[in-house]
Amino acid sequence: MKATSHRLEVRAQVAQAFLAKFQLSNEEMATLRGARDAPVTEETCDISPVLTQAMEALQDRPVLYKYTLDEFGTARRCAVVRGFIDALTRGGPGGTPRPIEMHSHDPLRSIIGTSVASLLITIEEMHLLSKKMFFNSLSLHASRLMDKVELPPPDLGPTASLNQTLSLLREVLTSHDSSVVPLDARQADFAQVLSCILDPLLQLCTVSASNLGTADMATYMVNSLYVMKTTLALFEFTDKRLEMLEFQIEAHLDTLINEQASYVLTRTGLSYIYNCVQQHTAEQVQFDRYLSSPDTLVMPQLNFLLSAAIREQIFRQSTDLVCRAYGEVYSALTSPANAYKEPENLVPRSPQQVQTLLS
């Protein structure tokens, strides 16, 4: 019983000494959290004069001051834990005093082992806390984007806030990509990071584009989704997100393709005739100028698209729709059942010729 009592007493002394080293005292907590007329001084904590001045200046900004105190406490705790582990395994400068682990023959060995186990638990708790603070910071940044939604620029490109947030996302993912965290854990972290940032960004773009016209909205969304996609394409574990972004881009591309086709049909007069043909009415088709120079009839929004490949895809597929509409007009005007006089003067070119001219 006496030996057990002695071990418990020594264990309590070790724990008390360790807690006293890295935990803030009641007086320190009262000073840090107390009234503003009790400023932080060099004597309050073992910190440099410059840090003292910085902490004093931050007292005028309570939110930042609280965050700074939390970070300071975390950093101090880490430093003390690291020092204690060094004492256990390395000892003092030059090996004096000797590492605590060298006294393995001592009966206190079991007490020290318990202390190390407690330290490991503390370190794990600190890691979880810092991770929680990190993701809370990301969520806070993303939520603030919705406080003041930025309108799309005149060129319908990505907004400044979108570019800045994607730059932050790129830095975070690059840091995680080069870490030594196990593969499964890193994949889970990637998913959480993307959830914290990408989902609010998509919502931000949708709200930002809500007052735009159909073609302007589709162009702006394609550009915004495109820069998101090119950012994620640089990293692993983003396949599902890339697939989702590609699906959304395709939806807006369909809108632009139809808008471009309608743009051409309206400005060549073919749109009216196309509608008339559906009502069995004919009218002269005049779009020789378009056939000779198709590039002159392009919606202004298409010139704002960042991707040349996407722009070419829209132009190509919209041209196919124009050719299809001309084919229906041609069939209706040349059909004997409709009995149009001299249809070759109304539609002098066959659909195949039009297709060749536009290809």
pLDDT band at 345 (very low <50, low <70, confident <90, very high): confident
The closest of 237, 250, 244 to 189, measured between CA atoms, is 237
Task: Tell me the one-letter amino acid at 322.
Answer: V
Q: Where are the beta strands (DSSP E) in 225-344?
A: none
Distance of CA 317 to the CA centre of its chain: 31
Measure the CA–CA gap between 197 and 190, rounded to whole angstroms.
11
Q: Pick the residue with more confidence: 352 or 23?
A: 352
Non-local (6+) Cβ contacts of 311 within 8 A are 302, 303, 305
pLDDT at 338: 81
CA distance 21 to 47: 15
What pLDDT shows up at residue 138? 80
Cα separation, 309 vs 5, whole angstroms? 79
Q: What is the pLDDT of residues 202-216, one digit of tens each?
A: 999 999 998 899 999
pLDDT, tens digit, 9 for 90 and up, residues 79-119: 767 776 776 666 666 666 666 656 555 555 555 555 566 66
Are 90 and 99 in contact by the 8 Å Cβ rule? The answer is yes
State the pLDDT at residue 130: 73
Q: Taking residues 183-201, report their average pLDDT.
A: 84
pLDDT of residue 181: 65
pLDDT at position 254 is 92
pLDDT over 90, % of the chain: 18
Burial 85-100 (b: 16+ CB within 10 A, else e): eeebeebeeeeeeeeb
At 58, the pLDDT band (50, 70, 90 cuts) reads confident
Q: Which tokens is 227 given?
A: 């820069």
| pLDDT confidence tier of residue 230, bands split at 50, 70 and 90 | very high
Q: Is the pTM of this model over 0.85?
A: no
Closest to 119 (Cα-Cα) out of 161, 156, 86: 86
Chain center to CA of 282: 54
What is the model's pLDDT at position 158?
A: 92
Tell whether the model's pLDDT for residue 182 goes beyond 80. Answer: no
**What six digits make up the tokens of 84?**
């204690």
Q: Which of 171, 196, 193 is nearest to 237 (CA)?
A: 193
- What's the CA gap between 359 and 351, in Å, rounded? 12
Q: What is the pLDDT of the chain when averaged over all its residues? A: 77
Please check the confidence at residue 224 and state whether its pLDDT lies above 50.
yes
Query: What is residue 40's predicted lDDT score, i.e. its pLDDT?
Result: 44
pLDDT at 96: 66
pLDDT at 35: 47
- Would the pLDDT of 27 be above 90? no
Higher-confidence residue of 233 and 33: namely 233
User: Between the ranges 5-19, 270-284, 291-305, where is the mean pLDDT highest?
Assistant: 291-305
Residue 280 scores a pLDDT above 50: no
Determine the Cα angle at 202 with ends 201 and 205, to 5°: 85
By CB atoms closer than 10 A (0-12, 13-18, 19+), residue 75 is: exposed
Query: Is there a contact between 131 and 123 (Cβ–Cβ < 8 Å)?
Result: no
pLDDT band at 334 (very low <50, low <70, confident <90, very high): confident
Query: What is the pLDDT at residue 116?
Result: 61
* Stretch 7-34: mean pLDDT: 55
pLDDT bracket for residue 146 (50, 70, 90):
confident
Helices marked H in 146-182 — which ranges?
A: 160-177
pLDDT band at 156 (very low <50, low <70, confident <90, very high): very high
pLDDT at 185: 77
What is the C-alpha separation between 288 and 265, in angstroms, rounded?
12
Q: What is the mean pLDDT of residues 171-194?
A: 78
pLDDT at 278: 60
The two counts, helices (H) then strands (E), for the chain are: 14, 0
